[in-house]
Amino acid sequence: MEVIDTGQKVYSRSESLTKVTTHYCPGCTHGVAHRIIAEVLDEMKIREKTIGVAPVGCSVFAYNYFNCDFVEAAHGRAPAMATGIKRVLPSRIVFTYQGDGDLASIGMAEIMHAAARGENLTVIFINNAIYGMTGGQMAPTTLPGQRTTSSPSGRDIEQTGYPIKMAELISVMDGTSYSVRRSLHDPNNIRKSKKAVRMAFEVQKRELGFAMVELLSSCPTNWGFSASESLEWIEHNMLPVFPIGDYKNIEPVKNIKY
């Protein structure tokens, strides 16, 4: 392979990331999501006024990886905790980073009411259709027929119902200004994901209300696939159930220029 040395540094650690090795499994897209958020904080120059709220789940240690103030919530309660912070410090940028078990199962009340209130929060929702931290159990976003350690014969919709589509659900709340779904399965979609994350922070900066970006993510370890197979699984299996799209994007948000 030809090495091109232009003498220019083309890639470095974001200022908003700490010099810490993450605990994430090889091939997991949490790292990509972290990097996207950190780049946005850098580009918007808001690192020093940002407070993150970490969830319970695989990203429970997110507070170690971001170079900004952080708190660690109880399972599912990140939107409530973020609300408490934002109401006391409305001039700060407050975001939650939550997985599907945290946000769409145990924390359903907190996320829906934060959206209904139009809290000026940015929510990054990582949907990998499984409980990662506890070793691969069925999540509220697990696909019909998907095998997990608690749905060993595949998710039976007769018994356990259907995956919950959060970007769509959040979009119908009047307090929501921005609710979109993106995917992290290839470079093109990663770039689009970053644009959406940037927009979700721009919405908060302008005090336009509640903003959420759902990011389809991989879990090679618990899905039982290789890293590249996992990305293909997102494309072929998750996208038909969780279509990429802008589910809510109010006019003032559409008009945001940065």
Task: Name 240's Cβ contacts closer than 8 Å, sequence gap at least 6.
Answer: none
Answer for which of 63, 144, 192, 239 binds other proteins (CB under 8 A) is: 63
Answer for which of 30, 34, 35, 77 binds other proteins (CB under 8 A) is: 77
Show contacts with other proteins in window 86-115 (CB under 8 A). Answer: 87-89, 92, 109-110, 113
Contact 80, 71 (CB under 8 A): no
32/54 with CB nearer other proteins: 54
Terminal CA-CA length for the chain: 38
Q: What are the start-end ranges of the E strands in 28-100?
A: 50-54, 69-72, 93-99
Q: Is 53 in the site for other proteins (CB under 8 A)?
A: yes
- Residue 67 to residue 18: CA distance in whole angstroms: 5
Q: Is 80 in the site for other proteins (CB under 8 A)?
A: yes
Q: Is 205 in the site for other proteins (CB under 8 A)?
A: no
Answer for which of 15, 42, 43, 72 binds other proteins (CB under 8 A) is: 72
Answer for which of 34, 47, 155, 181 binds other proteins (CB under 8 A) is: 47
Instruction: Specify the length of the chain in residues.
Output: 258
* Site mask for other proteins (CB under 8 A), range 18-37, x = bound: x-------------------
Residue 173's nearest CA partner among 101, 131, 121 is 121
Answer for which of 48, 186, 207, 229 binds other proteins (CB under 8 A) is: 48
Phi, psi of 115 (to 5 degrees): -65, -45
Q: Is 74 in the site for other proteins (CB under 8 A)?
A: yes
87/236 with CB nearer other proteins: 87
Q: Is 51 in the site for other proteins (CB under 8 A)?
A: yes
Answer for which of 14, 29, 67, 249 binds other proteins (CB under 8 A) is: 67
Pairing of strands 93-99, 122-127: parallel
Residue 139's nearest CA partner among 121, 166, 176 is 166
Contact 130, 225 (CB under 8 A): no
- Residue 190 to residue 186: CA distance in whole angstroms: 6
Positions that interact with other proteins (CB under 8 A)? 18, 47-51, 53-54, 60, 63-64, 66-74, 77, 80-85, 87-89, 92, 109-110, 113
